Amino acid sequence: MSGQAATDEAGNAAGVSEGPGRSLSAGLASAAADNWPTLALLAAVLVAWEALIRLLQVSAFVVPAPSAVFRTLAAKQTQLLDAAWITGGEVLLGFFFSAITGIAVALVIARFDRFGRALYPLVVLFQTVPKVALAPIFILWFGYDLAPKIMLIVVIAFFPVALDMLAGLQSIDPSLVALMRSVGAGRTEILRRVQIPHSLPHLMSGLKIAITFSVIGAVVGEFAGASAGLGYMIQFASTQLDTPLVFAALLEVSVLGVVFFYVVELAERRFVSWVPRYERGHR
């Protein structure tokens, strides 16, 4: 009996020790199974791209083959990772301030009716201003440091946060508002207890849009004036006709945006878990 118990205990311990590894492997296998159509399409596009470049003998400085882009990624991995680290920091800071600005604007418009009606058209008017034209103005005001890039990200990315959260704040069921007023709740308490929780799914949708806009804003800001980052690397490589490096940096930007997008989506699943979601494969 004691020998059998010792064997069972050792087996359980081995199972516990192998659990995280098996769980990670199972998660990766599940992700690959869920996304195999995307991976298959991507592989087909890359194969067709490589074949056309070789068949038509297109020069690398016009359109590089995927193999040339991957060779550049491997050869300049350190420089690209350093640039991605800088751009990623700008994206995170800009996204943080964009989220705060968008949430504040939505709350002000929803809480104060008259002021909100006056503010909303101005916000929409400001959003129509070409953001690329603001980049040199911000550099003139704030210099070539981090500040103009953060400002540009904020003016690009705050609008979807404000608009989506405002939609959630204003789409509350009137019966809930009437119920809260019947028990003596004021405007601020209704906003805090009913409208804000109801607006969280809309807010997360706005944040997912804003994080992709933040990546675009960081790259545009680096185009306008920077000495480091992926945007600077793209601009520098284009002046040197180093098209494979341009494509490699663009690939890094795309991967950065996808990673940040799914981080926000994971946060949505963690903190707004009660919202029903469409699952692929469910019929």
Please say whether the dihedral angle defined by the alpha carbons of residues 177, 179, 182 and 184, taken in this order, is positive or negative: negative
The tens digit of pLDDT for each residue in 10-20 reads 444 444 444 44
Domain coordinates in residue numbering, the chain: 2-34, 65-271
| Residue ranges in the chain modelled with pLDDT below 70 | 1-34, 275-283
Q: What is the pLDDT of residue 32?
A: 54
For residue 96, what are its two tokens? Answer: 């943080």
Whether 227 and 55 have beta carbons less than 8 Å apart is answered as no
Cα→Cα distances 260→47, 48, 140, Å: 28, 29, 30
What phi and psi, each to the nearest 5 degrees, are found at residue 270? -80, -45
Q: What is the pLDDT of residue 17?
A: 43
Q: What is the pLDDT of residue 87?
A: 92
The tens digit of pLDDT for each residue in 219-268 reads 988 888 777 888 889 888 888 888 889 999 999 999 999 999 999 989 88
pTM above 0.85, yes or no: no
Which residues are CB-neighbours of 188 under 8 A, at least 6 positions away? 111
Nearest to 204 by CA among 160, 159, 156, 254: 160
For the domain made up of 65-271, give the CATH fold.
MetI-like fold (1.10.3720)
Nearest to 208 by CA among 83, 81, 102, 89: 102
